[in-house]
């Protein structure tokens, strides 16, 4: 449960500038997550459907004209305060996405992993890899409210 000052803080104008990058290959889960994030706060939410798209959004991958993906040298000028990603996605898992982010400029941005499977080895692996939180799907409004204090601590939440 949030402390009273955290509730007030996240109901104030500062939370409106917080930006969440939500990553999920399932369109229904992605829409539900977006709806919960927007309903419980005034956060800006950007949704993408793959780890690759998330890396592109963060400026960590670039598509070349011949269709080959390569690493970008400069970071994209976007602000992201929290990344929420599904664990199991085709192409690049949420765990692999987290590891790539943790090796980049974005390494201090909190990452939350979601999964419909509550396997202790998976949960432990994610925490050991740098996950801030692990949520079971389907995500509930109470899960989203638990994340609000993490946004206040994000190093990228300055305007």
pLDDT in tens, 44-102: 999 999 999 999 999 998 655 555 554 554 456 788 999 999 999 999 999 999 999 99
Spans of all domains in the chain: 16-50+78-152
- On whether the pTM is more than 0.85, the answer is no
pLDDT value at residue 43 = 82
pLDDT value at residue 152 = 64
Domain covering 16-50+78-152 in this structure, CATH number: 3.40.50.2300
pLDDT in tens, 107-132: 999 999 999 999 999 999 999 999 99
Band of the pLDDT at 148, cuts 50, 70, 90?
confident
DSSP type of residue 3: -
Q: Shortest CA distance to 85 belongs to which of 142, 152, 26, 10?
A: 26
d(CA 19, CA 154): 10
Q: Do the strands 69-71 and 61-63 form a parallel or antiparallel pair, or are they unpaired?
A: antiparallel
Neighbours of 94 (CB within 10 A): 26
């Amino acid at each position: 449960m949030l402390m009273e000052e955290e509730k007030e803080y996240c109901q104030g104008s500062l939370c409106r500038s917080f930006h969440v990058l939500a990553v999920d290959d399932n369109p229904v889960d992605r829409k539900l997550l977006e709806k919960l994030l927007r309903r419980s706060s005034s956060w800006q939410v950007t949704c993408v459907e793959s780890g690759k798209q998330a890396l592109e959004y963060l400026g960590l991958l670039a598509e070349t004209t011949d269709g080959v993906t390569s690493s970008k040298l400069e970071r994209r000028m976007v602000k992201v305060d929290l990344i929420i990603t599904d664990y199991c996605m085709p192409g690049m898992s949420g765990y692999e996405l987290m590891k790539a982010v943790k090796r980049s400029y974005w390494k201090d941005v909190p990452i939350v992993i979601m999964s419909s499977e509550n396997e202790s080895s998976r949960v432990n692996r994610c925490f050991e890899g740098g996950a801030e939180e692990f949520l079971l799907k389907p995500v509930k409004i109470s899960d989203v409210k638990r994340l609000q204090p993490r946004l206040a601590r994000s190093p990228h939440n300055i305007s």
